[in-house]
Amino acid sequence: MRRIILLSALLGVLAMSCTTTQSDNQKQETIFEQVAQQDDPIISIAPNAEIAAKGTYIDAKAVGTLAYEWGYAMVRMEQAMRDYIDVPNPKPATSYRAPLNEIGWAKRLPTAKDKDMPTANNDTYYMSAVVELTEPYILETPDTDGRYYVVNVFDMYHNLTEYIGKRNTGTQAQTIALIPPGWNGKLPKAVDKKVNVKTPKVWLWGRLHVLEGEDVSKVHVLQDQFTLKTLAEFTDKGKITKTTTLPEMPKYPVTDTLRFYRYLAFAMSQNPVLEEDKGLVGQFERIGIKDGQFDEASLNAFQLKGLKEAAVEAPLTILASMYSSTTTINGWNVATKLDDFGYDYGFRSLVAGPYLGGQGEKEAMYPIRFIDSDNQPVSGVNSYRIHFDEEPPVNSFWSLTLYDATNKLFYDNELDRYKFSRESKGLQINEDGSFDILIQNEKPENTDNWLPAPKGGYYLILRMYEPHEEMIELKYQIPQMEKIK
């Protein structure tokens, strides 16, 4: 009897819950119907408690989504820069990490066993330097005798401020001054180039070309000739004020559904809002972000609900920009905004995520491939062929690299082959300049031109360093990836 009474009570509660939900949905439909039926609902409809609840929820969700799209790149940069100055001991040969205000170089190309960086290239040694510009810093680069190199200067919004290297400034020895915001002092005559940065920290991200099979000891000698000094060190004048640490970045558990907004507030406390973004960022006050703080207590339940939903949905809008902000050529997604994202904050955030440090199209282009000629996700269970009539049109060099989709790293295979490029020994080019690349998991009888793939999903990147104008203008038809079985 008691069980029957308890069951009846439970059914009654469920019925009331369903009735309440149906009632809420009906009210919501009524509100939307009222708005839809008015020529100017702002004038025609009087605010009430129901509208206030629904409206504040929608507003918080919309502003929270925009804050995520705008701010993720800066949050990612703050997190990554702290990682990049955290030098492991012992330091792996593939690691480019270095203490704050110092240059770090990788001394070996990565393999499938190296996990330090997703979607790394297998063409260059990477360089990294996180610099806190307490005063101007002087970067000195050696004469590389025509060898390709580039040092990208990124601000903390992942905006590319300058290129130093072969294409833009040449390969002769150079002396470059990195100038912090608001500094108006005098530089020594030895400085060849001045680079003004908009944030107090700057990230130098470099690449130095390594030929397959060459004696890398001479490359290591070149690396050691890249130097970074404060202006006081360079001139032997003034007090040296090098900083050695960055303020600790707070950490929040994944269970904290508002953690992104807390990270964003911290990142904003470390960097000035750019002049062109001040109108946008002013809107964030409505979701409790102001003066480098996130004031959760100032928000009502409807706003908090909207922010929590935005934190789940905004990453999807960022990921979707791979398609909405790129051009598709024969199944390859090609981006041409990396030099100037403009107001496409979602795409900037996408690049700052798995493609952190990506360069603009004049320096390099990175067509990426996820699908085959049948518009199906590429998979190692199938066999594919990419036919090139000739080598990709570049002034420096190109490479086609494969990545395991499960971890964005190289696929471990018996040939230790992760890419093909002009100097790859396994690449056979026909007399007329054409060549085919075979991509599959199963080992073929002839392994020349075979790029091994995992059994599951993967993706390809065709890197093109200093592409020709026809590629920059998206006129070059990148070869299709044909499924052959």
Q: Based on the number of CB atoms within 10 Å of its own CB, is 44 exposed (0-12), middle (13-18) or buried (19 or more)?
A: exposed
**Residue 242 confidence (pLDDT):** 77
Beta strands in 366-457, from DSSP E residues, in sequence order: 368-369, 384-388, 398-404, 419-421, 435-440, 450-452
Rounded to an integer, what distance in angstroms lies between the CA atom of residue 131 and that of residue 101? 4
Per-residue pLDDT of the chain (485 residues; tens, 9 = 90+): 433 333 343 334 334 334 444 555 555 668 888 888 888 989 988 889 999 999 999 999 999 999 999 999 999 999 999 999 999 999 999 999 999 999 999 999 999 999 877 889 999 999 999 999 999 999 999 999 999 999 999 999 999 999 999 999 999 999 999 999 999 999 999 999 999 999 999 999 999 999 988 999 999 999 999 999 999 999 998 777 778 899 999 999 999 999 999 999 999 999 999 999 999 999 999 999 999 999 999 999 999 999 999 999 999 999 999 989 999 999 999 999 899 999 999 999 999 998 899 999 999 999 999 999 999 999 999 999 999 999 999 999 999 999 999 999 999 999 999 999 999 989 999 999 999 999 999 999 999 999 999 999 999 999 999 999 999 999 999 999 999 97
How close are the terminal C-alpha atoms of the chain, in Å?
Answer: 67
Alpha-helical segments (H) within 328-450: 345-352
Q: Based on the number of CB atoms within 10 Å of its own CB, is 139 exposed (0-12), middle (13-18) or buried (19 or more)?
A: buried
* Class of CATH domain 86-235: mainly beta
| Beta-strand pair 332-334/435-440 | unpaired
Q: Which residues contact 399 (CB under 8 A, 6 or more apart)?
A: 121, 122, 123, 419, 420, 421, 462, 463
Residue 176, sorted as left (phi over 0), alpha (psi -120 to 50) or beta, turns out to be beta
**Residue 29 confidence (pLDDT):** 66
**Is 261:307 a contact under the CB 8 Å cutoff?**
yes
Nearest to 230 by CA among 155, 99, 138: 138
Q: What angle do CA 62, 63, 64 make, to 5 degrees?
A: 90
| Beta-strand pair 160-165/174-179 | unpaired
Residue 90: is the preceding peptide bond cis (ω within 30°)? yes
Domain boundaries, given as residue ranges, for the chain: 86-235, 327-483
| CATH number at 327-483 | 2.60.120.600
Q: What is the CA radius of gyration of the chain?
A: 27
**Residue 28 confidence (pLDDT):** 60
> What is the identity of the amino acid at 344?
D
Give the 3-state secondary structure percentages of the chain, helix then strand then coil, rounded to 5: 30, 20, 45
**Residue 117 confidence (pLDDT):** 79
Q: Based on the number of CB atoms within 10 Å of its own CB, is 273 exposed (0-12), middle (13-18) or buried (19 or more)?
A: middle
Rounded to an integer, what distance in angstroms lies between the CA atom of residue 94 and that of residue 169? 27
Rounded to an integer, what distance in angstroms lies between the CA atom of residue 386 and that of residue 483? 9
Q: How many residues are listed for the chain in this entry?
A: 485
Rounded to an integer, what distance in angstroms lies between the CA atom of residue 432 and that of residue 430? 5
Residue 263 phi/psi, 5° resolution? -65, -40
Q: Based on the number of CB atoms within 10 Å of its own CB, is 418 exposed (0-12), middle (13-18) or buried (19 or more)?
A: buried
Q: Which two tokens stand for residue 180?
A: 């912090």
- DSSP helix/strand/coil, 44: helix
**Is 459:379 a contact under the CB 8 Å cutoff?**
no
Q: Which residues contact 174 (CB under 8 A, 6 or more apart)?
A: 140, 141, 164, 192, 193
